[in-house]
């Protein structure tokens, strides 16, 4: 296999000049650059990225931390991050943290030792102290982790409010909520958006709120309790689509017809919401777009001389599907 | 930050001795080893893995190639690979190849330049020539790519045969099949398992086989055609669970009751099959186990002096759910 010395010899330059051409830094005149590039091509020379990363302190690898890739929201995010990284010639390490801060710390240390260039982090457990250990750029995705860290999120509170307004607009008069975990900012914001719309209603009671932990089985149980104890509920805003699937399952087991007896709206807009029967109306995040934007922001910070803290919030969009389609005869199951 | 020289100085040994302790190779007496370890601890010294990988030619990174992480079969595999890699102190790079052999080659080159220690590959497009470019161990997962490469798969043909036998056992007399792509070995084997059980039946016709491309929308379309043109079909063996969800969707739109009018069985056993309503009977692969086994096999090959080609085939298991539950009054939707 050809080495940098072979390239230098063939191009009749020093290895330092070859290195300047490879790394695109320092002045090399056009004619010399062409000669070096031809020598590289002729010898089929592959620069060793490990040696380059030792020299430059960069590995062209970024990491994505997600709680669990088997939660169907995260594969769509991961795909977007990987596509953009790949387009920019970065590789992408995936870490499942289970929202366990000890695991997060082990990963942070191991990957910094491997000279990973930056981190995109979905986390509810990482602390300010953990963040201080990170010497490379970080972008928080989906959940804000600190005001000192760049972030890409969606407008959860406003989106949740719009979900409840939509249920009202199709005639729901007793609207309940299945919430996500209290320690996750997106879940708290969505719950707040629900409260904004219902707290002043005469029918509202805190008993209409149940905890589903962003989990299919937990949400199914919560829905069975809620719908058994409060048969007057005619609309349900569910904190995410995965829990929405649990609610549809609960309704089927209780013999409750959706949307005739109960209209259901989720949040996220993952593929699952389209695949299930009846299909689930949802407040869709631009999932691919936010994943891509986080990767773009991170690589900008890695390559920029003066990176700034940036925060971007995307809007969510109503996707009308069968689970709220109460028009006469419209629902042909 | 402390360097290896600082550690050597404090422990009063040479840097070569520190390196022997760090890399666990070569003889170091017990007392010296303890002194070096204490110095490392006292100085909070972190060995630079990039320098170590340059020295040893190993990065402690492995790569997983999947066609597309948003296909719900792959997150479960990826999770298993990552868990086991992490347990063995390896990090894990995820690559979405879209079954595009050009993309595969770009990834193979880029990751070998980064001294990745091995590859786990799910692929239907990689060629023998591509494999020759790989200088590190490879394990094929889910699909066999060459007899020269270790593999972890399931017994697709036998499992498919059992699926059809099960449909017969619950009374189905006209059993159709929605197949996966012909260029994917698992899809061909499952189709063959179907044929094994139906080819000698008087009612069998090739018209009972449709192509669903392992895709939700394509399978839905195929099922609508099949069930419209052949209303006598009372059982359907679907080549994977994602397509099974498409069939349930098709049946709902045609007003066909499942399981009363049509019994449906899938293949894979992904979480989706449990989440949808009605839940989908399926031939379940031990998905987590095969992902874990592939990672274990790869790391064995990376660390072994004399790695051998290994092939392992796992059995699949019938999971009975609502989509085939034709017992009287048993299905309380």
Is B121 in contact with B141 (CB distance < 8 Å)? yes
| B40, B44, B75: best to mutate for the A interface, most A CBs within 10 A | B75
Interface confidence, given as ipTM, is 0.81
Chain B: residue nearest A66 by CA?
B79
Alpha-carbon gap: A82 to the closest alpha carbon of chain B (Å): 7
Is B5 in contact with B15 (CB distance < 8 Å)? yes
**A78 contact residues in B (CB cutoff 8 A):** 69, 94
Assess whether pLDDT exceeds 90 at residue B207: yes
Identify the band that residue A37 occupies on the pLDDT scale cut at 50, 70 and 90.
confident
Which residue has better confidence, B26 or A54? B26
Which residue has better confidence, B38 or B58? B38
**Nearest-CB residue to A53 (from B50, B245, B276):** B50
pLDDT of residue B328: 58
Residues B118 and B294: their CA atoms lie apart, in Å, by 11
Chain A: residue nearest B254 by CA?
A333
Q: Write the pLDDT tens digit of every residue in A229-276.
A: 999 999 999 999 999 999 999 999 999 999 999 999 999 999 999 999
pLDDT of residue B331: 44
Assess whether pLDDT exceeds 60 at residue B294: yes
pLDDT of residue B3: 80
Query: H or E segment at A82?
Result: helix A73-87
Which stretch of A3-7, B97-101, B194-198 has the lowest confidence by average pLDDT? A3-7
**Nearest-CB residue to A50 (from B54, B110, B245):** B54
* Tokens found for residue B234: 């009372």
Assess whether pLDDT exceeds 90 at residue B312: yes
**A216 contact residues in B (CB cutoff 8 A):** 271, 275
Per-residue pLDDT averaged across A202-214, rounded? 97
**B72 contact residues in A (CB cutoff 8 A):** 72, 75
> CB B50 to CB A47 under 8 A?
no
Q: Distances from the Cα of B225 to the Cαs of B207, B220, B233, B276, B280, in angstroms?
A: 11, 9, 12, 22, 21
**Nearest-CB residue to A54 (from B51, B82, B89):** B51
> CB B91 to CB A72 under 8 A?
no
> CB B110 to CB A89 under 8 A?
yes
| A93, A94, A95: best to mutate for the B interface, most B CBs within 10 A | A94
β pairing state of B138-141 and B150-154: parallel
Alpha-carbon gap: A199 to the closest alpha carbon of chain B (Å): 32
Mean pLDDT of chain A: 91
Query: Please, what's the b/e burial string for A103-120 (b: 16 or more CB within 10 A of its CB; e: otherwise)?
Result: bbbebbebbbbbbbbbbb
Identify the band that residue A59 occupies on the pLDDT scale cut at 50, 70 and 90.
confident
Chain B: residue nearest A249 by CA?
B277
pLDDT of residue B219: 98
Residues B176 and A61: their CA atoms lie apart, in Å, by 47
Which residue has better confidence, A200 or A1? A200
Per-residue pLDDT averaged across B167-195, rounded? 96
Residues A221 and A210: their CA atoms lie apart, in Å, by 10
**Nearest-CB residue to B69 (from A59, A79, A112):** A79
In this structure, the number of other CB atoms found within 10 A of the CB of residue B285 comes to: 29
Assess whether pLDDT exceeds 50 at residue A89: yes
Chain A: residue nearest B60 by CA?
A114
Identify the band that residue A292 occupies on the pLDDT scale cut at 50, 70 and 90.
very high
Per-residue pLDDT averaged across B242-250, rounded? 96
pLDDT of residue A3: 80
**Nearest-CB residue to A69 (from B59, B79, B91):** B79
Domains of chain A: 4-47 (1.10.260.40), 61-154+287-316 (3.40.50.2300), 156-285+318-324 (3.40.50.2300)
Assess whether pLDDT exceeds 80 at residue A38: yes
Of B292, B309, B288, B290, nearest to B85 by C-alpha is B292
- What is the arrangement of strands in the sheet containing B150-154, beginning at the earlier edge strand? A311-314, A150-154, A138-141, A118-121, A61-66, A91-96, B91-96, B61-66, B118-121, B138-141, B150-154, B311-314
Rg (C-alpha) for chain B, rounded Å, is: 26
Chain A: residue nearest B89 by CA?
A110
| A84, A113, A275, A291: best to mutate for the B interface, most B CBs within 10 A | A275
β pairing state of A209-211 and A175-179: parallel
> CB B255 to CB A53 under 8 A?
no
Which stretch of A100-114, A160-174, A274-288 has the lowest confidence by average pLDDT? A100-114
**Which of A17-26, B190-199, B269-278: highest mean pLDDT?**
B190-199
Q: What's the sign of the alpha-carbon dihedral B16, B21, B25, B29?
A: positive
pLDDT of residue A332: 42
> CB A75 to CB B76 under 8 A?
no
Per-residue pLDDT averaged across A178-188, rounded? 95
Assess whether pLDDT exceeds 50 at residue B333: no
Which residue has better confidence, A59 or B284? B284
Size of interface A-B (CB pairs under 8 A): 152
pLDDT of residue A46: 66
pLDDT of residue A67: 95
């Amino acid at each position: 296999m050809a080495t940098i010395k072979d390239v230098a010899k063939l191009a009749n330059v020093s290895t330092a000049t070859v290195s300047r051409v490879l790394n695109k830094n320092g002045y090399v005149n056009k004619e010399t650059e062409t000669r070096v590039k031809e020598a590289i091509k002729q010898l089929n020379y592959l620069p060793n990225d490990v040696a380059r990363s030792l020299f430059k302190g960069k590995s062209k690898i970024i990491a994505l931390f997600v709680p669990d890739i088997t939660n169907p929201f995260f594969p769509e995010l991961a795909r977007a991050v990987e596509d953009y990284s790949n387009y920019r010639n970065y590789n992408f390490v995936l870490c499942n943290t289970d929202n366990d801060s000890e695991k997060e710390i082990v990963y942070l240390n191991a990957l910094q030792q491997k000279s990973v260039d930056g981190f995109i982090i979905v986390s509810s457990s990482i602390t300010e102290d953990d963040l201080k250990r990170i010497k490379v750029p970080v972008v928080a995705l989906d959940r804000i982790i600190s005001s000192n860290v760049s972030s890409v999120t969606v407008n959860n509170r406003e989106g949740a409010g719009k979900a409840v307004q939509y249920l009202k607009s199709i005639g729901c008069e007793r609207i309940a909520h299945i919430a996500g975990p209290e320690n996750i900012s997106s879940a708290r914001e969505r719950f707040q958006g629900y409260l904004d719309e219902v707290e002043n209603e005469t029918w509202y009671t805190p008993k209409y709120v149940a905890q589903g932990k962003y989990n299919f089985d937990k949400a199914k149980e919560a829905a069975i309790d809620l719908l058994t104890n409060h048969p007057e509920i005619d609309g349900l805003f569910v904190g995410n689509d995965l829990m929405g699937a649990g609610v549809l399952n609960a309704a089927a087991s209780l013999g409750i017809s959706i949307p005739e007896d109960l209209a259901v709206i989720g949040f996220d807009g993952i593929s699952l919401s389209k695949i299930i029967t009846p299909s689930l109306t949802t407040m869709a995040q631009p999932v691919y777009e936010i994943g891509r934007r986080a990767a773009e922001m991170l690589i900008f910070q890695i390559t920029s001389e003066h990176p700034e803290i940036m925060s971007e919030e995307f809007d969510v969009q109503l996707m009308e599907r069968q689970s709220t389609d109460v028009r006469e005869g419209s629902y042909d199951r």
